[in-house]
Chain A
Amino acid sequence: MILIRSLLLLVSFILSGVVYSQTTVSMTLPTVTLMDIEPTGNFTLNFTAPTEAGNPLGNPTPNTSKWVNYTSAIAPGGLTRKITASVNKIIDGVNIRLQAAAASGSGGGALGTSSGQVTLTTTPVTIISGIGGAFTGNGANNGHNLTISLTTNTYANLLAQANTAIVIVYTITE
């Protein structure tokens, strides 16, 4: 009995006395905060004059050609990102409205949530929040589609004017 146990010990020592060797794999992923609007370029929104006395101005057809693309990589436990929008100036009597749709396209990860329709002012307002580690996909038809519209507010403040260029500034931040 002792001999059998001892032989088992010898065999198990040789067989289980397996030898190992190792190598190390390491990889560093940096934080990433990138955002742009696709496609590039300007667009025009024109009010139409009424043809019947007593009728209001006709609101322009909202523009839906723009998409927000972003890539976001955050550190462990890091804060989520948000995207804000503001205009360089306002037009008296006119609301400039923006609505980001839910993300669509080829993206993935913890994509942001739209704030719904907001009225833009010179003070940045959040249009998308809760962006974690995520990417939207690149180009039009990827990311959050933007609907930008103009409506009148206080008629008394309206002034007839030629083309007024408005710059919308988008910022991604924590």
Chain B
Amino acid sequence: MKINSYFFREIRLKKYVSSILLTISCCLGAQTINVGGSNWTVSVPTITEAGTNYAGTYQSATNLITLSGTLPGSFLNLLTSGAARVSVHHTPTTWNSNLHLYAKRSGGTTSISGLCLGCTATINGGTTYVEIPQAVATAFFTINFTGVLGLGNSVTYSSINGQLQISGVSVAIPATTYATQVVFTIGAN
């Protein structure tokens, strides 16, 4: 029994430390991203002339969705490249491989709170359509941060308008209802 006591002590210690750090990290808070606006029901015009097809490509309103969120100091401290990346992918419910989704952004503002020396936060990229892949997310835009962090810092970003586009709409694909969820994710660049 005594032979294994060191082993068990080590396991117990690991468990305690892990639990404490998990609790701390939860309290520190994580970066957030929120999607405002509305869902997009693509309006496909009725075909009235024999021989014709759908136009094929349709766009949402430029401000269909609005992205916003917060990058807490605990997150900013860990950004080795100084940038957070917003990625996008979609998870279909019913889909067809000939259909392609795209997203682009316009506008957006950032604000830095707390004591921060020479700090700037800018939103970059994503102003032209980026294809939204399935399953594996692709980079949409970045939020770049520079400066020397002080206490209680965080970056808030808001009013980033998102527009979606769908292409490949055709009578050649089965006539049914297609649906997918566009997922925006924020993490370190």
Q: Which of B30, B40, B42, B173 contacts A23 (CB 8 A)?
A: B40
Chain B residues with a Cβ under 8 A of chain A: 10, 13-14, 17-18, 21-22, 24-25, 28, 30-35, 37-42, 44, 46-54, 64-65, 67, 69, 74-75, 78, 90, 101, 164, 166, 169-188
Which residues of A are found within 8 Å of B49, using beta-carbon distances?
A: 34, 71, 138
**Given A29-B178, A75-B176, 13 additional A-B pairs, CB 8 A:** A10-B24, A10-B25, A20-B186, A22-B183, A23-B182, A24-B40, A24-B180, A26-B41, A34-B48, A73-B174, A109-B171, A133-B174, A138-B51
Known: A6-B21, A16-B187, A133-B174. A25 touches B164 (CB 8 A): yes
A21 contacts B35, CB within 8 Å? yes
Q: Which of A2, A17, A108 contacts B172 (CB 8 A)?
A: A108
Q: Which of A13, A18, A32, A76 contacts B176 (CB 8 A)?
A: A76
Q: How far is the CB of A162 from chain B (nearest CB, A)?
A: 34
> Within the assembled complex, what's the spacing in Å between the Cα atoms of A137 and B50?
8
> Within the assembled complex, what's the spacing in Å between the Cα atoms of A24 and B35?
11
**Main secondary structure on A side of the interface with B:** mixed
Known: A2-B17, A14-B30, A22-B181. A71 touches B90 (CB 8 A): no
Rank and list the top 5 A-B pairs by shortest CB-CB distance, nearest first: A69-B51, A109-B172, A138-B51, A27-B42, A18-B187
Which residues of B are found within 8 Å of A10, using beta-carbon distances?
A: 21-22, 24-25
A–B pairs, 29, beta carbons within 8 Å: A2-B13, A10-B21, A10-B25, A11-B78, A13-B21, A13-B22, A14-B25, A18-B31, A18-B186, A19-B32, A19-B33, A20-B183, A21-B34, A23-B39, A25-B39, A27-B44, A27-B178, A29-B175, A70-B50, A73-B47, A73-B171, A73-B174, A76-B176, A108-B170, A109-B171, A133-B172, A135-B171, A136-B50, A138-B52
Chain A residues with a Cβ under 8 A of chain B: 2-3, 5-7, 9-11, 13-32, 34-36, 38, 69-76, 78, 107-110, 132-139, 142-143
> Within the assembled complex, what's the spacing in Å between the Cα atoms of A16 and B22?
13
